[in-house]
Amino acid sequence: MDAGLTVDTPTGRLRGAPAPRSQDGTVVLHQGIPYAAAPFGTHRFAAPAPPEPIDGVRECTAPGPPAPQGALLLGAAEWSPETSLECLVLNVWSSARPGADAPVLVWIHGGAYLVGSASEPTYDGTLLAENGLVVVGVNYRVGFEGFGHVPGCPDNRGLLDQIAALRWVREHIRAFGGDPDNVTVAGESAGAGAVVALMAMPDARGLFHRVIAHSTPGDVVRTETARLVSERFAEVLGVPLEAEALAALPPEKLLAATEEVLTRTDSSGRRTRSMTCFAPVVGGPELPEAPLEAIARGEACGIELLTGHNLHEYRLFSELGQNVQVDGEEALQRKCARLGLGPAEVAAYRQARPGLCLRDLYVSIMGDAMFGEFTLRLAETHAAAGGHAHVFRLALESPALGGRLGACHALDLPFAFGTLDSELGAFLLDGAPTDAHRALSCRLMNAWHSFAATGDAGWPPVTTGATPVKIWDEADELHAHDPSPTREIWRGIDLAPK
């Protein structure tokens, strides 16, 4: 047995394997490490419980099972009723050795709180580990299992899983050469929404020290709204909204109900699909108040923040499967009103982004509404409360689909992980990456490493008087003040939970 592949942890010995993508051969990958018990049977809809003790040496050389999920969205992991339900597992990439005290990056995958897995090739942590980080990727409960409101059970079970994983990191990461007193938790999209929620969760305090949040969605829901969604599930499933009745159903039944709950028919009879029906639930003991409210009060001011978004976020959805149609001016005004924007704000958008047709104007507005404005407001709120925040914006445009995707949602992921040759990277880059793409990836990875190690991303932080923005592109730019022409439009628009 190769001693370099076997790690002695406080709860047992774990055997990994050389990371296949390691360019210098130093990175060891441990996969499928259980950090909590399978969340089914007596643990269904409950807070995560401790895993079974390790007897002898546990082989950690293959990906662990993903959480139950359907094929609703791009990024869904392969799951079937035959898949093991021991899904609360994590992966560790490390080239450090015990005692090295390397900075730790814990990755929370995105996927609309519905799908995803830490073992997706895009999230391969090998190159980040070669760059000096110990990288941990976490599987957690998604969909109804993780975020559905079940009376008598804790809300936000997926977030509680992440807290359990962070406790595992605190207790075990020294064995992999990591420093438990220098932990950054990072995520993109729903993963970013999750890590921002962790900033406001009492049980997560002290478990991490920095946050990287890419394309943070602003959607959090109140308990009453979450209950309405669950009532719809119970109606579709034909059972009462009770823990015992729901726990008697196999996961695939809940996944089939998710498909039906997400499917809607518009006034013209066209079938459309919302991206998600779940989000962090505000109002219970797990997450007492909305993250922005807690951050504004200074509850997270000791946590350093690196956050940003992509210039054309919503194009990923408008060009890949979402039925986005704007049938005239009245339809545009009606859609924007649901976002909190009135005719004056829509007119201001036209002036800020002239020449766009109604559909493209709406797509631009949706990108700001879903990701851009919340991301910037998060950084500014944190800075105003005494926190430390850096802001970026990815402007590099994808050449895929004739350039229609632009700087779309998720384009940053293969750059941040150095996985430009992954399936997602090859799609978004329309083939092999260029030298300019690889150079940008190196700059972004270096910024992650610098921030995770020291809290300094490499450009000035936000102040109460200015929001400096790093523009990532083939040639980067640094603006002393946010150059976006639409920020003023959103000033005063409420981003409170629904």
The residues that are catalytic are: 189, 313, 409
Question: Within 10 A of 149 (CB to CB), how many other CB atoms are there?
Answer: 24
Structure-block tokens of residue 83: 């898949």
CB 302 within 8 A of CB 211: no
CA distance 143 to 495: 23
Q: Mapping DSSP to helix (H, G, I), strand (E, B) and coil, where does residue 213 land?
A: strand
Helices (H) and strands (E) in the chain, counts: 17, 18
Whole-number Cα distances in Å, 375 to 182, 188, 260, 284, 321: 24, 11, 31, 24, 25
CA distance 86 to 37: 7
Structure-block tokens of residue 330: 């009245």
Strand partners, 30: 92
CA distance 306 to 447: 10
Q: Mapping DSSP to helix (H, G, I), strand (E, B) and coil, where does residue 226 land?
A: helix
CA distance 414 to 398: 12
106: burial class by Cβ within 10 Å (0-12, 13-18, 19+)? buried
* Of 408, 396, 420, 306, residue with least CA distance to 364: 408
Backbone angles phi, psi at 94, to 5 degrees: -155, 140
Radius of gyration of the chain (CA): 22
Structure-block tokens of residue 302: 């000791």
185: burial class by Cβ within 10 Å (0-12, 13-18, 19+)? buried
Pairing of strands 304-310, 389-394: parallel
End-to-end CA distance of the chain, in Å?
Answer: 55
How is 246-275 classified by DSSP, letter by letter? HHTS-HHHHHHHHHHHHEEE-TTS-EEE-S
CB 426 within 8 A of CB 135: no
CA distance 194 to 108: 8
212's CB contacts (< 8 A; 6+ apart) are 105, 184, 185, 186, 187, 195, 306, 307, 448, 451, 452
